[in-house]
Structure 1
Amino acid sequence: MASLSEEQRAAVLEAARRPGATRNGVARETGVSEGSVTSICTTAGISFDRSATAAAVQARVIDLKAARLGLATSMLDDVQVARQRMHGADGNRDFLDGAKAVAALAGTHVRLVAVDKDDATGTEAAKSMLGSLAAALGVAAAEGVEEAAGDGTV
């Protein structure tokens, strides 16, 4: 900022005082860096309207939330496919691999949904669901191992 002339500072302040001026717009117009524009304007008590930026950020947040919801929904479809493959498995090892895939996909779904929960009860519900799923998969896995031990294959 020390290397800027008084004319450059005056040009920055003049551009910044125009209605609708943005920091980046002033920087482009005057050829002064964004950081220098910020420093000059802060010193002069000029601030920029950030409502457009706030609106853009809010729109992006909404877009990302929708994308996460779409992905979470797809994960449920993948859970169904993995469950069908698991139950159609020829051997115990394939069944256990399928059970692991179901658990991973269901866990991913729960984490995606939990990102957008506004209250702590959603987190607790997700933990409870994951705990129940893990317990059920443990029982299924134990049954699969017992069956394998009975027929001599593991």
Structure 2
Amino acid sequence: MASLSEEQRAAVLEAARRPGASRNGVARETGVSEGSVTAICTAAGISFDRSLTAAAVQARVIDLKAARVGLAATLMDDVQLARQRMHGADDNRAFLDGAKAVAALAGTHVRLVGVDKDDASGVDAAKSMLGKLADALGVAAGEGEEGGGDDA
């Protein structure tokens, strides 16, 4: 890194002391790298207001949570559709493929919903629900095989 002149350092400090100044803005304005701006300001005891960045991050978190909720809702629609196809299957193979699809979609839904859970009890409930779903699919798959054997 090239050594900065006293004039450049003074310009960085002057720009950094303006209300609402950001590190990147000071760097653009003065032509000094972001790292050098940070070093100069840290040495002078100047810190930048990060509240706008924090607000932007929080807004993004909220947007992502809303997207996950929307995706979880559409996954439940997909589970219903996969169940309909599974129960309308003509053979055991198609039935089992449908059962796998239902299990995968339901598991994805549970994991998506669980991302935003604050307590560990949600994890236990999800595991229990998935276990029950897997047991039910196993029983249904067994019934499908027996019924399919009679038709063959």
Scaled to the shorter chain, the TM-score interval is over 0.9
Q: Who is 1:44 aligned against? A: 44
Structure 1 unaligned residues grouped into runs of 5+: none
Matched position secondary structure for 2:47: coil
Matched position secondary structure for 2:46: coil
In 2, Cα distance between equivalents of 1:34 and 1:142: 65
1:121 maps to amino acid: S
Tell me the number of residue pairs that the alignment of Structure 1 and Structure 2 aligns: 152
**Deviation string for 1:32-86 (max 9, x for gaps)?**
1111111111111100000000000000000000000000000000000000001
Q: Who is 1:130 aligned against? A: 130
2:120 maps to amino acid: A
In 2, Cα distance between equivalents of 1:9 and 1:73: 55
TM-score, scaled to structure 1: 0.93
User: 1:123: Cα distance to partner?
Assistant: 1.2
In 2, Cα distance between equivalents of 1:137 and 1:4: 70
User: 1:6: Cα distance to partner?
Assistant: 1.2
Q: Who is 1:9 aligned against? A: 9
1:69 maps to amino acid: V
**Deviation string for 1:9-32 (max 9, x for gaps)?**
111011001111011110110011
In 1, Cα distance between equivalents of 2:40 and 2:130: 54
User: 1:146: Cα distance to partner?
Assistant: 3.4
Matched position secondary structure for 2:82: helix
In 1, Cα distance between equivalents of 2:144 and 2:88: 13
More displaced 10-residue stretch of structure 1: 39-48 or 135-144:
135-144
Residue 68 in 1 paired to residue 68 in 2? yes
Cα RMSD after superposing both structures: 1.4
More displaced 10-residue stretch of structure 1: 115-124 or 51-60:
115-124
Residue 114 in 1 paired to residue 129 in 2? no
TM-score, scaled to structure 2: 0.95
Residue 95 in 1 paired to residue 102 in 2? no
In 1, Cα distance between equivalents of 2:119 and 2:151: 50
Residue 79 in 1 paired to residue 75 in 2? no
Residue 33 in 1 paired to residue 49 in 2? no
**Deviation string for 1:67-117 (max 9, x for gaps)?**
000000000000000000011111111111000000000001001000000
Q: Who is 1:18 aligned against? A: 18
In 2, Cα distance between equivalents of 1:122 and 1:92: 34
In 2, Cα distance between equivalents of 1:145 and 1:38: 68
Query: Where does structure 1 differ by over 6 angstroms across 4 or more consecutive aligned residues?
Result: none
